[in-house]
Amino acid sequence: MNVSNKYIEVRWHGRGGQGAVTAAEILAQAAFYDGYRGVTAAPFFGAERRGAPVIATNRFGREPVRTFSLVQKPAVVVVLDETILSVVNIAAGIQPDGIVLVNSTKSPDRIVLPSCLRVAVTDATRWAAKAGLIISGTVLSNTSILGGFAKATGLIGMESIEKALRSHFKGEAAERNVLGARLAFEGTVVSGNCCAEEERLHAI
């Protein structure tokens, strides 16, 4: 992924209790380990109840971040819960060359978005369950999808993701989270640019 802006902006969409804010915090730490000197993570809550849509954001750049306004034009949008696609315009403001990463069992071409964008998918819920990331019957996919972020964007390496996970978690919990992220990395599928494909078809 080629990003020329001073800062890389990321927006997370999840539901209350799914860990979008925690994922953003770990991604910020991974970005720092990867050499970005300016990193931020911030939550933005709507209705503060379990299951309600939640937004978290990141900014990172090679220089210190000097703006703390709400992220408006993300290069990457991460969707932890596919059902949000039907209730929230997750593509709002995304850069034309941006990418949307969705936790889904579908292929990228089956993800319906309001605009023509590159799409990546990984079944983070499946990989998290396989790694044993289950608490009280709930599968915790928020850290596994970080592996999908590394694969889909190339902005942060898996080594830095793993280092951040091992910093945030300890012992066996850390290794389960690392395994989930590795599985999600390997299981991520990235689409081409659908707009370019549409232009090709129109030209035929």
Per-residue pLDDT reduced to its tens digit, 157-203: 999 999 999 999 999 999 999 999 999 999 999 987 555 444 433 34
Domain 8-203 belongs in CATH node 3.40.920.10: yes
Question: SS3 for 176?
Answer: helix
Dihedral sign for Cα atoms in the order 190, 195, 201, 204: negative
Percent of the chain residues topping a pLDDT of 70: 88
| Residue 1, pLDDT above cutoff 80 | no
Q: In what order do the strands lie in the sheet with 8-15?
A: 38-45, 53-61, 8-15, 76-79, 99-103, 118-122, 189-190
Q: Among 4-8, 100-104, 131-135, 151-155, where is mean pLDDT lowest? A: 4-8
Mean pLDDT, the chain, whole residue set? 90
Residue 80: its pLDDT value, please?
98
The domain ranges of the chain are 8-203
pLDDT surpasses 80 at 27 = yes
Q: Whole-prediction pTM value?
A: 0.90
**Ramachandran assignment for 79, one of left (phi > 0), alpha (psi -120 to 50 degrees), beta (any other):** beta
Residue 116's pLDDT is 79
DSSP symbols for 44-108: EESS-STTSEEEEEEEEESS-----SPP-S-SEEEES-GGGGGTS-TTTT--TT-EEEEE-SS-G
pLDDT > 80? residue 2: no
